[in-house]
Amino acid sequence: MEQLVYKKPESIRDDFKITFCPGCDHGVAVRLVAEVLDELGVREKTIGIASVGCSVFSYDFFNVDIVESAHGRSLAVATGIKRSKPDKVVFTYQGDGDLASIGLAETIHAMTRGENVTAICINNTTYGMTGGQAGPTTLIGQITTTTTKGRKPELSGYPLKICEILKEVDGTAYVARVTLDSYQSILNAKKCIKKAFEAQLKGLGTGFVEILATCPTNWKMTPQESHARVRGEMSEVFKPGVYKDKVSEAV
């Protein structure tokens, strides 16, 4: 008898269309969130908030209700939805430019208030959708369309380390940074995303996962070279790991 060992998660629409570039880690991140929603059995009461950026097409693949928010304001919208409907599971799916640059104030204040929501941030060190401009997380020396000779700290500052900032915010219950560069790291990433949702379900505070993802198109690399970059120079600056875990402490 043949047994089914893997199938597309229920939380991915049957008529889904992955609109990302070839080899982009966004697709894996979307699938992991969907698998976690399936495993927790909360798909029917989940509301997602899409941001502006490559994540804007979330309604094309997530099989949950999706609200589109203004640029950077996802966590402010999430606050409103969660407070008016506390029985719903609310998550935001944002890029680094959205969460850490344009929406940094909303992000930090929502987390300072300890809103019971989950935030997933895709950090690919660039503004992917608009054509690869320098973002807050762009690495020193990285060539983008707005730092054509590489990012210089004296001109455009240093990369913003989101997890290191948010772990100091009292309202956060879970803060972790993960990568998706290998099968093992994908399994680990899923564990962390699940914890971030458990933080919300247990009412402990905000769950936050930063995913170091690739952007092969704007990095002008193959998917394989992009993963090598995540493992190499990106992981050196943005160190993967669990920064704060009130979920395990609460058990």
Partner 1 sequence: MGRIVLNRDKCKACYLCIDACPKKVLEADSAVNEMGYYPAKVNSEKECIGCAICAKVCPDIAIEKVYYEK
Which residues sit at the interface with partner 1, rule CB under 8 A?
Answer: 1-8, 12, 16, 18, 20-28, 31, 61, 182-183, 186-187, 216, 223-224, 227
Question: Token pair of 194, please?
Answer: 């699940």
Tokens found for residue 46: 């989940």
Residue found by looking up tokens 């019971």 in the block:
116
What is the 3-state secondary structure of 155-223?
HHCCCCCHHHHHCCCCCEEEEEEEECCCHHHHHHHHHHHHHHHHHHHCCCCEEEEEEECCCHHHHCCCH
To partner 1, the closest distance from the beta carbon of 161 in angstroms equals 25
* CB 91 to partner 1: min, Å: 19
Query: Toward partner 1, which CB reaches closer, 39 or 245?
Result: 39
Nearer to partner 1, 61 or 91 (CB): 61
Q: How far apart are CA 28 and CA 31, in angstroms?
A: 5
User: Smallest gap, in angstroms, from Cβ of residue 120 to partner 1?
Assistant: 16
Closest CB to partner 1 among 27 and 114?
27
Q: Please report how close the Cβ of residue 1 comes to partner 1 at its closest, in angstroms.
A: 7
CA neighbor of 163 nearest in space, from 147, 179, 152, 150: 179
CB of 8 to partner 1, least distance (A): 5
SS3 62: strand
Choose between 116 and 188: whose C-beta lies nearer to partner 1: 188
Instruction: Compare residues 82 and 227 and give the one whose CB is closer to partner 1.
Output: 227
Shortest distance (Å) from residue 34 CB to partner 1: 9
Q: By C-beta, is 234 or 247 nearer to partner 1?
A: 234
Listed as own residue / partner, the contacts of 20-24 with beta carbons closer than 8 Å and 24 or more positions apart are 20/54, 21/215, 21/216, 21/217, 22/216, 22/223, 23/214, 23/216, 23/222, 23/223, 23/226, 24/54, 24/128, 24/213, 24/214, 24/215, 24/216, 24/217, 24/223
Does residue 73 contact residue 103 with C-beta atoms inside 8 Å?
Answer: yes
